[in-house]
Amino acid sequence: MDLRKDGRQWNQLRNIVITRNICKYAIGSTIIEMGDTKVLCCVTIEDKVPPFLKGSGTGWLTAEYGMLPASTPERNQRTNNQSGRSQEIRRMIGRVLRSTINLKNLGERTIIIDCDVLQADGGTRTASINGAFCALVDALVQMKKRNILTLPILKDCIGAISVGIVNGNKYLDLNYYEDSMAQVDFNVVMNSKDEFVEIQGAAEGMFFTKSELDNLLEIAKTGIKEIIEIEKNILKNELQTLSGY
């Protein structure tokens, strides 16, 4: 198979850079770069929970997602009314991050993770999930230092990546050019035990078989293993602290 336009192999991730603790007022923060996609992820906490959890002793985690005006070639208009796409993505981020922690051990507190796309070149939701996970780990460590949570709190690491079929070729970690032409594309989230957390996918202009789906998920799994290994290398001490052992 020929090299892709950016010089990568079909099963090669873009370069990943994670910069931690870059916001003074956030309890945890990262900028994650996956190729030319850059996302700022910041964590704050509130000493309250949604009404349906009041009095339960259980905490909550939610997320927000948005694209800054200059994150794309054409300026994004600022608006207080989030698009359907943004709402769907923030719900996904919240769901998958909630799966990683023991909410009962938070007490009645809410963790809020804001994901702001600084620069978009495909895979903004998967980059947001990976960056948000790292920011969450740092936030949980700070909460432990303040004695406002109970260990063990972290269930597992997670990683997210996109895969797709572009002109008949299966690719890992699609950039915008590839994503815009993909006949099939998926966003996949898994944990370190090779268990699926979430799968989103669809075809456009073609059908795909179960065999192709299985193949795409295997490709995604190899990429997610690499991402989780990066997370474990960066957060080794923090992950050990949060395990409670």
Where residue 155 sits, what CATH number does that domain have? 3.30.230.70
Q: Is residue 238 part of a domain?
A: yes
- pLDDT for res 80: 62
- pLDDT for res 52: 95
How long a stretch of residues is the chain?
A: 245
Which regions of 71-223 does DSSP assign to beta strands (E)? 110-119, 158-166, 169-172, 184-191, 196-203
In angstroms, the Cα distances linking 63 to 19, 30, 71, 106, 160 are: 20, 15, 19, 16, 16
Give residue 66's domain range.
Answer: 16-243
Residue type, 151: L
Q: Is residue 5 part of a domain?
A: no
Q: Is residue 60 part of a domain?
A: yes
Distance of CA 89 to the CA centre of its chain: 10
Q: What is the pLDDT along the chain (245 residues), one digit of tens a residue?
A: 568 989 999 999 999 999 999 999 999 999 999 999 999 999 999 999 999 999 999 999 999 999 898 898 889 887 665 778 889 999 999 999 999 999 999 999 999 999 999 999 999 999 999 999 999 999 999 999 999 999 999 999 999 999 999 999 999 999 999 999 999 999 999 999 999 999 999 999 889 999 999 999 999 999 999 999 999 999 999 999 998 64
Asked whether 130 and 34 are in contact (CB, 8 A), the reply is yes
- For the whole model, what pTM was predicted? 0.95
- pLDDT for res 1: 57
> What span, in angstroms and rounded, lies between the C-alpha atoms of 197 and 204?
24
DSSP bridge pairs for 101: 154
> What span, in angstroms and rounded, lies between the C-alpha atoms of 13 and 163?
10
- pLDDT for res 81: 53
Distance of CA 212 to the CA centre of its chain: 24
Burial environment of residue 39 by CB neighbours within 10 A (0 to 12, 13 to 18, 19 or more)? buried
Q: Is residue 156 part of a domain?
A: yes
Count of structural domains, the chain:
1
- pLDDT for res 69: 86
Q: Is residue 6 part of a domain?
A: no
Q: Is residue 11 part of a domain?
A: no
